Homo-oligomer: A and B are copies of this chain.
């Protein structure tokens, strides 16, 4: 069973990404190291003891629907209440509405633990946090006054309603419509699909944020507005009033995250209320809904990246535990009596070390992204801009690399278990089933790659990515001057991989500057992976270079070396795909015709 890796998380936050340094420098307000430690410890305890057992059982049972009423797995409504009463929902929420306004880094660390214990469960607060952020940034004072406190406490949950059957990645074509009413409200009509926790029994009210189009709106993405549509209308005294005209038509039968109800929501069908149409309130300005939604989506992308980290961590723990206990055959050099634990077989050790390296690499990338968000928030002027750009650059990499790692690590986890891995009761298969959605939702990883190449690389005229690469080189130099034989070929390996990243980056910027966008996009996905692999090596090296008060310095050096010598050589192939692959891809399109 999953045990929250609090020490590892704490080490990564403090010594790889720089949380303790930022605290010491007074960069994060009055946050203290003691508070950080206490929060991580307590979150770990809750995730391990309370959430993980119900996560596993809930996957087996799944969410159910009957007559529009959605029931979450046994014990989940209670688990949710305990969880929010612990104050976990408001970790980063605005203080004015009862939140703790803590840094994002702490929240992603906590999110990791919730998602390891139960990704299906953790989706509920993940969506609520996005709604809080959108409402806090773009909502009117009146809307904030009515909704934020209950959302921050978690008494009510939030949802994001974007997708329609014909409008997934391309929101410009969505059809849900909003009509103005004289009292300043709107009436919403339409169907939304894939609405995570769109309906459930764990909270008293559900606050839907819904993208819709006004009758006179311009075509495309410039004609989309964002509306708040509560499941139950709220009376002036804050109590719950009538049911709004929105309901859950059905829930999806999915590959994974079975405990999370994925709903088709119908707005304005006349099922509830006197007048047809779900009553909604505008969030932000008319026709500026997409910008509001992007506020939610950027952080949601990082949160989805954390799902990848979380599944990778849980799958790795499970596989290592199994590989230590399961005996089979005799590994070379095995001198014990009887069969050796399979962890002794070099091939199994290779799988487990790959899992560990990908997990820790993705974790560091995601935490680094959260750190950049925090620093941008706590800086001003050019510094704030630079940190903001760093967060923007890291977001697609964090989302895609970590979610791909989640799938790959979960799949390796099954392989380590052998035949047992294919049996559902073992629990290893669940991780692959759950992990498989993360590279898809919140913008497919292909869309992240487009974002990375076309919008993030050109930030500050390429200066942001250039400065970042310079920082990566410094880490390689620090490894060189550390002069530790245990690093093996880490220096050359890091330098070669960073050179690949540099070459691919320059090529992509040049191609775009010359208008060869299709060529640049042909290499976007390999480039994104290349970037993630380099960061994995660099962050593992940073950890290995950090003071090892916990006595694990040798382990960290060994894992860094393993990753650099075994995983990073792929960057050469990826660079070639970026720089040379477009022509053959273009030529081969006829094959698909």
Contacts and interface: CB of A to CB of B under 8 A. Distances in A.
B436 A349 contact: no
A429 B255 CA distance: 6
B320 A592 contact: yes
B449 A347 contact: yes
Contacts of A425: 253
A566 interface: yes
**Chain A binding surface, main DSSP class:** helix
A415 B448 CA distance: 13
A439 B590 CA distance: 32
Contacts of A345: 446, 521
A588 interface: yes
A163 B419 CA distance: 10
A567 to B, nearest CB: 9
B588 A353 contact: yes
A170 B517 contact: no
Interface in A560-591: 561-562, 564-566, 569-570, 572-573, 576-577, 580-585, 587-591
Interface string A239-266: 0000000000000111110000000000
Interface stretch (A24-32, A468-476, A551-559): A551-559
A445 interface: yes
A332 interface: yes
Contact of A411 (B327, B436, B554, B561): B436
Nearest to A561: B584
A343 B169 contact: no
B415 A591 contact: no
B255 A346 contact: no
A522 interface: yes
Interface string A426-447: 0001001100110111001110
A433 B421 CA distance: 12
A246 to B, nearest CB: 21
A350 interface: yes
A591 B524 contact: no
A444 B418 contact: yes
Contacts of A145: none
Interface in A99-139: none
Given A521-B345, A562-B584, A588-B562, A419 B353 contact: no
Contact of A253 (B169, B424, B450, B566): B424
A486 interface: yes
Interface of A: 163, 166, 168-170, 173, 193-194, 252-256, 320, 323, 327-329, 331-333, 339, 343, 345-353, 356, 407, 411, 414-415, 418-419, 421-425, 429, 432-433, 436-437, 439-441, 444-446, 449-450, 486, 488-489, 517-518, 521-522, 524-525, 554-555, 558-559, 561-562, 564-566, 569-570, 572-573, 576-577, 580-585, 587-592
Given A170-B329, A346-B521, A562-B584, 8 more contacts: A349-B522, A356-B591, A411-B411, A489-B584, A558-B588, A562-B585, A565-B576, A570-B573
14 contacts: A166-B327, A168-B328, A170-B329, A331-B518, A346-B524, A347-B450, A347-B524, A350-B522, A350-B581, A353-B591, A407-B411, A415-B444, A486-B587, A564-B584
- Nearest first, the 7 A-B pairs at minimum CB distance are A569-B573, A347-B446, A332-B518, A255-B429, A562-B588, A558-B588, A346-B522
